[in-house]
Amino acid sequence: MFRKICFILPVFILVSGLVLAQKNSQSIQIKGSDTMVNLGQAWAENYMIKYPDSFIAVTGGGSGTGIAALIEGTCDMAFSSRTIKQKEIDMAAKNHVKPMEIKVAMDGLAVVVSPDNPINQLTVDDIADIFTGKITDWKQLGGDNLPIVVLSREVNSGTHVYFKEHILRKGDDKRTDEFADSALLMPSSQAIADEIKQNKNAIGYYGMGYLNDTQKALAIAKDKNGPFVKPTVENVVNGSYYISRPLLIYTNGETQGLVKSFIDFTLSDEGQQIVRQIDFVPIVK
Amino acid sequence: MTRNSSKLRISEFLIEKAIYLSGLTTILIVVLIFIFLAKEGLSLFKHITLSQFLLGKKWYPISEVPQFGILPLIYGSLLVTLGAALISVPIGIASATYIAEVASPKIKEVLKSGIELLAAIPSVVLGFIGMVTLVPLVKSTFKVPTGLTAFSGSLILAFMAMPTIVSIAEDALNAVPKKYKEAALALGATRWQAIWRVTLRAASPGIVAAIMLGIGRVIGETMAVMMVTGNAARIPTSIFQPVRTLTATIAAEMGETVRGSDHFHSLFAIGIVLFVITFTINLIADFALHRKNT
């Protein structure tokens, strides 16, 4: 009897190990943009319902975190709300990783204040002046006589980088404008939303997927004359909303297997339907 | 020599060596950590000077010309820690005295388990509670532009330091020989005089150690602080302004950095600064303990 067990046990372990390994090859790790976490999770859940023997794990941390993880080889796919930097491509080449970019959705970046704030619209220049600390009081913009509390994301956020490059520096590489040092760096978009909800002085920014009734999204115009436009799906699709950006997936080299199948799913009608449900903007085909 | 006793001697020898090795391991680990920190952190100073790092007032680590000035972060950490110490030390020592000297056995049991429960709350939970309840309260009570301030961080950290301070200070008070107090009472001292002038004085080295361990816990705490202090890297002029601490900076930015970049090294250099600060605190505690003993 004992001998029999001695023989069967290793075989059993070997077989179960193989089975488990087989299972493991059907799982992928996705890391990156906090803006895209909710979207990614919705995609993953729907995908896993459709293909029950696959497993997809989605975690946030910021676009930079995701791209760093892709370079280090600790995830299969990185979500990013900004394009990869040359520095990161060089770094990846050193680690024999070839990042491939796929555009999966669009996002409008909302500039938000508390619903109690009388301000409804701002120009891009005003917003830049607020976030760089040139304007410090709501009165200067025709609002209440209250100090402005500037909320930003941490530096590991793609949204932080995008906002700095496209609003503070107006897309000009040579400008060196920075967020004011008095800006509060919040650990997540949700933390910004929570603070806006209870603070009339605060102004912040995040992907329009996080908007709800407890915050007010400002209408934004490129300059004083321009039409002031609210961040809605329609306005992002027709291009009239100023602050919109692509949401991206980076993979290592040509996609295959589960990674390819998952990306195909995100780009399918069903996947793009989910994009709309999470309040992001589907890509126009 | 019997066979039995030689066996005993061998096992004793082995146990002795094992304990000796365990002791060495601890020191070895500390040394290894320090070497690793130094190796990664000191690489930063190939590109910037020590005074640019320690005295620089701007922290813009990911800009094209990055600036690694940690003076605002040092101020932030010190301000939050000082605030937490001012709140937790008096309350902590007072409650330790009450538990050790005044309370009836029944109340003592309840209080002690209550304080142990406080120690069991994970810091991220305290941070979350602070974010949703304390932050709005601080904003409306003190009429400040935002409740995400150094003061909110100090309050939360005071809660976290309290269990450490209370339980160690209480042990120190209990360790004071009963006859000191009895002698004082016999000489006609009131109960309060006996506690204040005799028991507390006699326990003071232990109480200093309790305070230092509490402060050590505070300065190293990360998660709760990150959630309530606002993380603005600017030199604060009052405790009701947002601050960014050394620990929060490491935690918030470590994920983003590419291994081997200046930003990466600067975070390790911050680690060295933290290490030096805690080491100094321990040294002060040690010094206080020995001075009181001799």
Q: Over the stretch B51-61, which tens digit does the pLDDT of each residue have?
A: 999 999 999 88
Residue B105, token pair as written in the block:
């056995």
At A226 the pLDDT is 81
Residues B31 and B61 in one domain: no
Amino acid identity, position A138: W
pTM: 0.78
> B105-122 in b/e burial notation, b at 16+ Cβ within 10 A?
eeeeeebeeebeeeeeee
The DSSP letter of residue B258 is P
Indicate the residue of A61, A176, A187 with minimum beta-carbon distance to B226: A187
What is the crossing angle of helices A189-198 and B135-142, to 10°?
40
For residues A255 and A193, the model is more confident at A193
- Confidence check: pLDDT of A24 > 60: no
- How many Cα atoms occupy the beta-carbon half-sphere of A113 within 13 Å? 21
**Residue of chain B minimizing CA distance to A201:** B145
**Residue of chain B minimizing CA distance to A31:** B255
Q: How far is A140 from chain B (nearest CA, A)?
A: 16
- Confidence check: pLDDT of A8 > 70: no
Residues B7 and B23 in one domain: yes
Q: Considering its fold, how many domains does chain B have in total?
A: 2
Round to whole Å and give the CA distance between B170 and A248: 57
3-state secondary structure chain A: CHHHHHHHHHHHHHHHHHHHHHHHCCEEEEEECCCCHHHHHHHHHHHHHHCCCCEEEEEEECHHHHHHHHHHCCCCEEEECCCCCHHHHHHHHHCCCCEEEEEEEEEEEEEEECCCCCCCEEEHHHHHHHHHCCCCEHHHHCCCCCECEEEEECCCCHHHHHHHHHHHCCCCCCCCCCCCCCCEEECCHHHHHHHHHHCCCEEEEEEHHHCCCCCEECEEECCCCCCCECCCHHHHHCCCCCCEEEEEEEEECCCCHHHHHHHHHHHCHHHHHHHHHCCCECCCC
* Torsion sign over Cα B282, B285, B291, B294: negative
Q: Which residue has the tokens 């990161």?
A: A88
Asked whether this complex has an ipTM greater than 0.95, the answer is no
Q: Average pLDDT for residues A30-37, to the nearest whole number? A: 88
Round to whole Å and give the CA distance between A249 and A61: 15
Residues B213 and B225: beta-carbon distance below 8 Å: no
> How confident is the model over B243-271, as pLDDT tens digits?
999 999 998 888 767 777 888 899 999 99
Residues B112 and B148 in one domain: yes
Provide, as residue numbers in chain B, all residues whose Cβ is less than 8 Å from the Cβ of A202: 146
Model confidence at A210, pLDDT cuts 50, 70, 90, reads: confident
Indicate the residue of B136, B147, B256 with minimum beta-carbon distance to A155: B256
At A7 the pLDDT is 56
- What topology is assigned to A108-244 in CATH? D-Maltodextrin-Binding Protein; domain 2 (3.40.190)
For residues B223 and B71, the model is more confident at B71
Mean pLDDT, all residues of chain A: 86
Residues B157 and B12 in one domain: no
> How confident is the model over B98-130, as pLDDT tens digits?
999 889 999 999 999 999 898 888 888 988 888
> How confident is the model over B10-19, as pLDDT tens digits?
899 999 999 9
At B291 the pLDDT is 65
Residues B146 and B264 in one domain: yes
Count of beta carbons in the 10 Å neighbourhood of residue B25: 10
> What CATH number did the domain enclosing B140 receive?
1.10.3720.10
The DSSP letter of residue B134 is I
At A19 the pLDDT is 52
Residues B133 and B274 in one domain: yes
Provide, as residue numbers in chain B, all residues whose Cβ is less than 8 Å from the Cβ of A62: 255-256
At A233 the pLDDT is 85
What is the distance, to the nearest Å, from the Cα of residue A249 to the centroid of all Cα atoms in its chain? 10
Residue partners of A64: CB distance under 8 A and separation at least 6: A155, A156, A157, A158, A161, B255, B256, B257
Q: How far is B247 from chain A (nearest CA, A)?
A: 13
At B151 the pLDDT is 94
Residues B88 and B214: beta-carbon distance below 8 Å: yes
At A157 the pLDDT is 82
- What topology is assigned to A2-106+246-277 in CATH? D-Maltodextrin-Binding Protein; domain 2 (3.40.190)
Mean pLDDT, all residues of chain B: 89
Residues B255 and B152 in one domain: yes
Best probe of the A interface among B68, B256, B262, by most A CBs < 10 A, is: B256
**Residue of chain A minimizing CA distance to B61:** A155
Backbone angles phi, psi at A204, to 5 degrees: -150, -175
Best probe of the A interface among B238, B254, B258, B261, by most A CBs < 10 A, is: B258
Say whether A178 and B139 touch across the interface (CB within 8 A): no
Residues B55 and B34 in one domain: no
Round to whole Å and give the CA distance between A234 and B215: 54
> How confident is the model over A237-280, as pLDDT tens digits?
888 898 888 899 999 988 888 899 999 999 999 999 999 888 78
At B284 the pLDDT is 81
**Residue of chain A minimizing CA distance to B67:** A178
Residues B11 and B157 in one domain: no
Say whether B256 and A68 touch across the interface (CB within 8 A): yes
Residues B20 and B119 in one domain: no
Residues B92 and B150 in one domain: yes
Final residue belonging to a domain, choices B46, B61, B80? B46
Residue B263, token pair as written in the block:
């930003």
At B294 the pLDDT is 47
- Confidence check: pLDDT of A23 > 80: no
At A276 the pLDDT is 85
Range of the domain at B40: 2-46
Q: How far is B163 from chain A (nearest CA, A)?
A: 28
- Confidence check: pLDDT of A285 > 60: no
For residues B140 and A8, the model is more confident at B140
- Confidence check: pLDDT of B74 > 70: yes
B257 Cβ under 8 Å from any chain A Cβ: yes
CATH 3.40.190.10-classified regions of chain A: 2-106+246-277, 108-244
* Torsion sign over Cα A173, A177, A181, A185: negative
Round to whole Å and give the CA distance between B200 and B143: 39
Q: Average pLDDT for residues A66-74, to the nearest whole number? A: 89
Beta bridge partners of A137: A147
Model confidence at A12, pLDDT cuts 50, 70, 90, reads: low
At B292 the pLDDT is 56
Q: Which residue has the tokens 């067990």?
A: A5
Residues B95 and B143 in one domain: yes
* A–B interface: beta-carbon pairs under 8 A: 88
Q: Give the three-class secondary structure for B60.
A: strand
> How confident is the model over B155-200, as pLDDT tens digits?
999 999 999 999 999 999 999 998 998 999 999 989 999 999 999 9
